[in-house]
A and B are shown apart, each in its own frame.
Chain A
Amino acid sequence: MTFRCAAFGLVAAAFVSAALFFAGSARAEARAEEESGIPGGEVTEARGELAEREYASVNERCLRCHGMATLSYQDPTTQKTVSLAVDPEKFATSNHARMTCTNCHQDDYIEYPHVKKADRASLTCLGCHRADKKTSRFRIPIFDDVGRQFRRSVHYKALPETFDCFSCHDPHVFEVLTAEAGPAAVVNSDNAICLKCHNSQPRFSALTRHEFPSLKQAHSWLPSPSMHWRSVRCIECHTPRGGNDINHEIVRGEAVERNCVACHTKDSALLTRLYRHRVKEERQVSGLFASMLNNEAYIVGMTRSPDVDALSFFLIGSTVLGLGGHGLLRWLARRRRRS
C-alpha cells in the first residue's frame, strides 16, 4: 500500500522541508569540494572527516558499489541470493532521493569492508515518520494510524516476526505517485506491490508455509476479475470500509466486501478513495451538472463508456433536429399555402 490523496500533501510537505534542509547542506558541501578540489569518491581514510565534509557525495560513494545491479551474495544457510543493490535511477526518483544513505545506515558502513553488518530490524518506517515532533525526524502524522492498522492486518497477525514495512515497501525505490499520474498508473504501481508475492510462488513460500492461493480461484466469484484488477487497487476491497485511503489493515478474502452495489452506484464507495480527485477535477472543468450527467470516472458515469454516451447524444440530437426540422418545414409550407 502507498500513500494516497490525503497523504500527498503531507508527505510532499515533509519531504520538501527535508529536501530544503539537505539541499542547503549539500550545496555547502559541494562548495567545499570545489574549493578543496578533491572529489568525494577519492576520500579514502577518516570516515569522521568524510561524514562531516561531504554530504552530497556520501550517496555517490555508497552507490559506487551498491549501484552495481548484481551486488549480492548467496546466503549459505538459506541458499538464497541476497541482493544489496540499490538502483541509482530508481533511488533518484524515490521519495527518499534527497536523503543520504547514512541518514538511515549509520556511518559504520562508510569503510570497506564494512565493520558493522547491516541490521534491518533496527530500521523501520515509524522510526522516522511519526506524529510526535520530539521523537520523529521526518514527521508524518498519518503513519501512527498506519502502524496501528498494520498490526491489525492479516500479514502482521500471520507473520509477526518476519513481516515488516520492507516486506512490501523498498525504501530505496518507494515513490508516491501524484494524482496527475492517473488512476491506471496508481492502480498498476500499488497492485504490483501485492503481486510481488501474491503472483509468485517462490516469493510467497519464502515468507510463509501457507498454501499459495491462486489469485484466479480466489477471485472466481468476481465478474471479469482482470478488468477489476486493472481498474481498482487490491486494497479497495481488502481493507475495511471507512478507514483512511492508505489503510494498511489488509484483510483476508473472506472479510471482503462482495456487494457489487457498494461500488457500482452513483454514490460509490470508491468515490471516497481512489477516484475522489477525479470527481473533483471533473466538476472544476465541466461544472457540476455536466459532471453528474457525463463524468468519466470509471463505473460511476451514466454508461461507463464515453463513446456510447457520445453516440446516444448524437442519436438524440439527430432525432430532435429531425423532428424539429420536419415540423418547421411543415409550418413554413402551410404558411406559404395560406398566403
Chain B
Amino acid sequence: MSESERRHSRRGKAWAIVAAIILGVAALSPWLYPMAFEAYTGVVNGPLTYESSHKVSDREFETVAEQLTHGARLKRAQEVTAGEADDFARGRKTDMLMSTRSFAASGQFPHIGYFRDAGIRGYDGPSTCLKCHETIVVRDLDGEKKIVNTLDDVIESVHYKFQHTASGFTTFGYDGREVNSKDTRPIPVGKIDRACGIPGSFSWTGWAALIDTKPAEAKGATVVRSEGCGQCHIGGGYHPATEKMMPIGDVPKEAKMGVDCLICHSQAYDMNQRYVIKDEAGMRWNQDRSLKAALAVTLPSRDNCLLCHQHNMGGDAFAENVSAKNLGHTNQRILHEGAKRGNPFSASTDVHAAAGLVCTDCHVPEGHKIPRGTKGTDLVANDLPGREVACENCHTTAPHSKSADRVLLNGHVDRIACETCHIPHLQDYSVVLRDWTHPVWNEKEGLYSFRDVYQSGEAGKGFTFLWFNGYGTFLANALGNNPAGGTGYNPLMDQMVKIDDPAAIAAIRAQVEEMKKQNPDIDVDQYVKEATNPLLALSPEMLEKRAKWVEEKIRPLMNKGKSRLYPFKLFNARMYEDMSNQGPFGAMILPFDYAVYYETGDTLAAMTKAIQNPIVKRMYELPFKTYMMDEFMNYFGVDSWSNEYPLKDGKLRNVEAHWMRQMGTLMVNHGIQRKGRTCRECHSETGILDYARLGYSPQRVRELQNPPELANRQ
C-alpha cells in the first residue's frame, strides 16, 4: 500500500467515524434531547398514576352505573319540582316523577352501555378514551369535515399548552409590533409566560405546592393545604407543557397520559379529587379518574367549563362557585380572596345562563380548539384567531325591540358595546389593588395572604369605560381611540394610571392605615400616592420616554380599526421587580414560592426561593436570552434582556417593590343583565362616562351630558 493510499484510507476511516457519530446522535436524539432538556431546565417528568383509577368487577360496575343514573335522574326530578314550597308535597311529586316510565327512560349516560359492551371496567385516563376516540371528526365554520388525531388535537390546544409560537395574537408590544407577526422573530407566548412575572416563572414555581397552615380551628395543629396554577389545568404532570416552549422536541408520552379528559367531559367529576399529591418525582395535581366519572361522559356542559372558569369570573367567594364548595378530600385547596373580574356566569347573575345557554353556544369549538373571540387585551393564546364570539352574532346590530327608544338605543350600538350598558356592576369583592409585598395573617385559614388594598365592583371605581378596537398592549391595556381622532384621549397617561375618585382614595387610605398597624414602616401618604399614581416610580427621563412612545408607537395602534366604548375591569399589583429590566411601562416582575409565602409571610425569602428555581435561573443565561428573552423585552418596551441575575453571593440586587406602571384592563363580557342602564346614568354631568377624558371636544361634552332629547325626562 502506497503512502497516498494509506492516507486515503485513514481519511476514509475518519469520515466514517464522524458519520457514525452523527447518525448515532440522530438515532439517539429522541432519548438524548429530552434528557438534555430536563437536565438544563430542571423540569421533571415521570409516570403518572392516580388512586381513583382502578378496575372493578362486573357487579360493582352495575352498581356504579345504577347509582350514577339514579343520581342524575333524581337531580333532574328535583329541579322540576323545586317550585313546590311544601317539603312533603315536593317529595311526593319527585317520587311520582321518578317512577314515571318516560322520565325513567330518559337521560341515560350512553357510555354505560359502551363500557359494558366493550368490557371496560376501569378508567385509566386518555388511554381509555383513545381506545375508541383515536381520531375525531372536526367541522370548521363552513361545515368542512376533517379527521384529526384526538390526542394531538388536545395537546396542541391552548387548554393544554397555554401558549402559541404562531401569530394570531391581538396583542401589540409597546414597541408597536404585533406579537409574533411578520416583522418579529416568533417566540412562545401565552398564559404560560404572559408578562406577570418572568416568562413562565409563576407557572413553574407555583404549579403545585403543599402549604402547612395553622388555622384557628385546629388549635395549633398543622393542616396541609394545596395551592398552585396547576389546579385549573388539564395537564396532570409536574410542570406545565414546558417542552412546547422549545423549537424542537415534544411533551413526553407519559406526560400526555396525564391529560384530565374528564374535568371537561364528565357530568359527575368530583372536584374533591383535585388536590396536590407528592411522589418521588415531585408535586403534581391529583384528578378524578373514577369509573363513575368516566361513565358520565358527555360533550362539555356549562358546569364543566365553570369548574375552572368561574374562578376568574365570579371568583372563589361567589356563592354558586361549585369548585369552591368542593375543596378536596384531603390537602384542601386554598380559596382566593377577591375576584379577578367579578362577573359571575350563573343563572342568578347572567341572562344567558338563566336562558340555559351553554358556553359552547357562543364559543363554538372546532374539535378541542375553542375560540375566545377576535378581541382581547391580554397575552392569552387563542386557538382560533379570527373566529368571532360576539353579541351581534345572535342579536344583530338592531337588538332592542321593545323600548319606545329602541331606534335610538340601536343607534348607540355603533359607539357603545353591549357590555357597557348591560353589565351594570361587578361583584363588590372585585380586586383593583393587590399588594403582595405586605401580606396579612389570615386567622381563620392560618396562613399569610396577599392584601387587597382596594376592592370595588362599581362603575368608575372597580371598572371603567375605555375606547377599544379589539387590540391590547403586552401588559393588557385596551387600545382604541375616540372615533373623532385626536390626542385628547390618552389612557396610558391617564385612566389606566390614575385613581382619582375621592371615595376610592378614601377607601384606599383607610385600608393603608389598617396595614400600618402590622407594618409600621409604611408611610401612609406616600403609599396612597404611589398606589393611585404608579407613574411616580418612573424617573423624569423614563416618563418622558413613555409619553413619547405612547404618541409615536402606541397612538397609531389606538387609531387602528373601529373603536367602541367597552367596560374594563381595572387591576394593579405591588410586587418585587427586577429593576435591571425596567422600561417606561414596567419592570420584570419576580415570582414567589407559595409555601414560603403562605407559611412565613416573609415575602423576600419567598421571592428569593422562587428565583432559584432552575429554569428561572436559566432565563438569565445566554441561550434563553437569545432564544426568547430579548424579543420578549422588546415587546415589553425594554431594549434587551439584562441577564444580571438578581441574586449574587446570597444577596439581592436591583430588586424593588412597585406597583405596575399602569393598571391592567381586563375585558368583562359575562354577567349580562337584561335591563341595561338608563340614559341618565351616562348622559349627565355626574354620569359614569367621563366624556372629556374620553377625548370629546368641550362642546360635545356639554351636548352628551345634557342631550336635548332628555330635556323633558328624569
Contact = CB atoms under 8 A, between A and B. Distances in A.
B398 interface: yes
A74 B413 CA distance: 14
Contacts of A39: 699, 702-703
Q: Which of B401, B414, B712 has the most CB of A within 10 A?
A: B414
Contacts of B412: 68, 70
A45 B712 CA distance: 9
A45 B711 contact: yes
B414 A84 contact: no
Contacts, number: 62
Nearest to B413: A70
A233 B415 CA distance: 37
B29 interface: no
Interface string A55-87: 000000100110011111110100001001100
Contact of A68 (B406, B415, B711): B415
A223 to B, nearest CB: 34
B216 interface: no
B709 A112 contact: yes
A108 to B, nearest CB: 15
A73 B708 contact: no
B411 A65 contact: yes
Nearest to A83: B398
Contacts of A48: none
A65 B410 CA distance: 10
A71 B711 contact: no
B399 to A, nearest CB: 9
Nearest to B392: A70
Interface string A115-126: 000000000000
Main secondary structure of the interface of A (DSSP, over half): loop
Interface magnitude class on chain A? 20 to 34
B407 A44 contact: no
Contact of B703 (A42, A71, A72, A73): A42
Given A74-B398, A74-B401, A112-B709, A42 B702 contact: yes
Interface string B407-443: 1101111110000000000000000000000000000
A42 B706 contact: yes
Contacts of A84: 407
Given A41-B708, A42-B702, A42-B703, A73 B410 contact: yes
A44 B414 contact: no
A308 interface: no
Q: Which of B404, B406, B407, B412 has the most CB of A within 10 A?
A: B407
A72 B699 contact: no
Interface string B383-408: 00000000000001110110011111
Interface string B687-714: 0000000000001001100111101100
A42 B711 CA distance: 10
Main secondary structure of the interface of B (DSSP, over half): loop
A81 B397 CA distance: 9
A69 B414 contact: yes
A43 interface: yes
B398 A73 contact: yes
Interface in A73-108: 73-74, 76, 81, 84-85
Given A42-B702, A84-B407, A113-B404, A72 B708 contact: no
Interface residues of B, number: 25
A273 to B, nearest CB: 40
A228 B708 CA distance: 52
B398 A42 contact: no
A72 B414 CA distance: 11
B708 A68 contact: no
B275 to A, nearest CB: 50
B396 A112 contact: no
Nearest to B703: A41
Nearest to B404: A113
B396 A85 contact: no
Contacts of B406: 73
Contacts of A68: 411-412, 414-415
A70 B711 contact: no
B707 to A, nearest CB: 8
Given A65-B411, A112-B708, A73 B401 contact: yes
A44 B408 contact: no
Contacts of A69: 414
A339 to B, nearest CB: 74
A113 B407 CA distance: 10
Contacts of A41: 699, 703, 708
Q: Which of A45, A72, A81, A84 has the most CB of B within 10 A?
A: A72
Contact of B411 (A42, A71, A74, A76): A71
A71 B400 CA distance: 11
Interface of A: 39, 41-45, 61, 64-65, 68-74, 76, 81, 84-85, 112-113
Interface of B: 396-398, 400-401, 404-408, 410-415, 699, 702-703, 706-709, 711-712
28 contacts: A39-B699, A39-B702, A39-B703, A41-B703, A42-B703, A42-B708, A43-B708, A44-B708, A44-B712, A61-B708, A65-B408, A65-B709, A68-B415, A69-B414, A70-B398, A70-B414, A71-B407, A71-B408, A72-B397, A72-B410, A73-B398, A73-B401, A74-B396, A74-B398, A81-B396, A81-B397, A112-B408, A113-B404
Q: What 6 pairs across the A-B complex have the smallest Cβ distances? A: A68-B411, A71-B411, A44-B711, A112-B709, A44-B708, A70-B413
